[in-house]
């Protein structure tokens, strides 16, 4: 059976179910309270050029615009989602989406995106676990190195992960999964321990790597990012019911480009 690759993930995000799911979130949900609080805290300059990786259908991009950020470049490797983000911006921004550039690009190969070639950013965001949807730790590190390359010294990077050990139940489930890996009885499509590939009604198929805290700290250090902050979402803000229905608990991370 074939291992999950970036082609699998891209196809899953281009699938109609996922496109409808993320487009609806972009239209109806907008920024979570926790996202807004951290953006205000770590991205104080509304005129700073910001890069949003894995923008999907534009939920965060449009939220940033509504907060007053005016130099936004957002990209995703799923063409269908980028199209949706562009339509939403055209609909919401009366004078046309000046100030937001949407691009089709892969976070692990930003050098292949011509439009990004000469641009440098004073901040980057990779929200709602997008970084963890890159299969393979070395490829996730490549994405972190690419974001490092296109950001200026001191730029903040905000992203989220889903902790492997967030609850006692999950700790038990992951102990059982570890035993499966020891016996080589894991789902053969998975790339590494910590990976999940699951299907949910209304969302479609999702690949996600669930790290522990030590793994992310090591990945940041190895790719030139200095850890500045991390906390669970529930420690940052009390989210509304629709946000809780859309997304499980996650850990927010902020690092600065060294």
Ligand X SMILES: C[S@@+](CC[C@H](N)C(=O)[O-])C[C@H]1O[C@@H](n2cnc3c(N)ncnc32)[C@H](O)[C@@H]1O
Residues near ligand X (CB under 6 A): 6, 9, 13, 22, 25, 53-56, 59-60, 76-78, 81, 106-108, 127-130, 133-134
> What's the min distance (Å) between Cβ of 87 and ligand X?
15
Nearest CB to ligand X, comparing residues 55 and 255: 55
How far is C-alpha 243 from the geometric centre of its chain's CA atoms?
A: 16
Q: How many CA atoms lie within 13 A of 165 on its CB side?
A: 7
Q: Given phi > 0 = left and psi -120 to 50 = alpha, else beta, which region is 176?
A: alpha
Q: Please report how close the Cβ of residue 247 comes to ligand X at its closest, in angstroms.
A: 8
Q: Which is nearer to ligand X, 138 or 168 (CB)?
A: 138
Size of the chain in residues:
258
Q: How far is the CB of 147 from ligand X (least distance, A)?
A: 11
Indicate the SS3 state at residue 228. strand
Cβ-based nearer residue to ligand X, 69 or 77 = 77
Q: Which is nearer to ligand X, 159 or 168 (CB)?
A: 159
CA atoms within 13 A on the CB side of 208: 17
Judged by beta carbon, residue 55 or residue 210, the one nearer ligand X is 55
Tokens of 189: 């499509």
DSSP class of 121: B
CB of 25 to ligand X, least distance (A): 5
How near is the Cβ of 206 to ligand X at its closest, in Å? 8
Residue with tokens 């996730």: 140
DSSP, res 4: P
User: Taking the complex as a whole, how short is the minimal distance between the CB of residue 12 and ligand X, in angstroms?
Assistant: 8
In 3-state terms, what secondary structure has residue 111?
helix
CB of 15 to ligand X, least distance (A): 11
Residue appearing with tokens 């019911």? 241
Nearest to 208 by CA among 250, 158, 255, 253: 250
DSSP string, 122-182: S-EEE-TTGGGGSSSHHHHHHHHHHHHHHB-TT-EEEEEE--TTSSHHHHHHHHHHHHHHH
Which lies closer to ligand X via its Cβ, residue 25 or residue 50? 25
């Amino acid at each position: 059976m074939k291992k999950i690759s970036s082609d699998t993930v891209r196809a899953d995000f281009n699938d109609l179910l996922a496109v409808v799911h993320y487009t609806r979130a972009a239209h109806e949900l907008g920024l979570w309270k926790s996202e807004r609080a951290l953006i205000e805290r770590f991205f104080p300059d509304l005129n700073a050029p910001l890069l949003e990786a894995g923008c999907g259908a534009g939920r965060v991009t449009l939220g940033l615009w509504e907060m007053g950020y005016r130099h936004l470049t957002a990209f995703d490797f799923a063409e269908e989602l980028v199209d949706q983000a562009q339509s939403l911006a055209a609909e919401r921004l009366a004078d046309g989406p000046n100030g937001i550039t949407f691009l089709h690009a892969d976070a692990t190969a930003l050098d292949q995106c011509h439009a990004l070639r000469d641009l440098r950013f004073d901040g980057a965001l990779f929200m709602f676990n997008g970084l963890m949807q890159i299969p393979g730790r070395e490829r996730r590190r490549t994405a972190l190195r690419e974001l490092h390359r296109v950001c200026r010294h001191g730029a903040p990077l905000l992203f989220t992960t889903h902790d492997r050990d967030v609850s006692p139940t999950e700790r038990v489930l992951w102990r059982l999964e570890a035993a499966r890996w020891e016996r080589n009885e894991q789902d053969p499509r998975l790339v590494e321990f910590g990976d999940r590939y699951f299907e949910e009604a209304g969302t479609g198929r999702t690949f996600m790597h669930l790290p522990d805290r030590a793994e992310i700290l090591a990945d940041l250090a190895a790719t030139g990012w200095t850890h500045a902050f991390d906390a669970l979402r529930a420690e940052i803000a009390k989210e509304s019911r629709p946000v809780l229905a859309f997304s499980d608990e996650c850990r927010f991370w902020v690092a600065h480009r060294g």
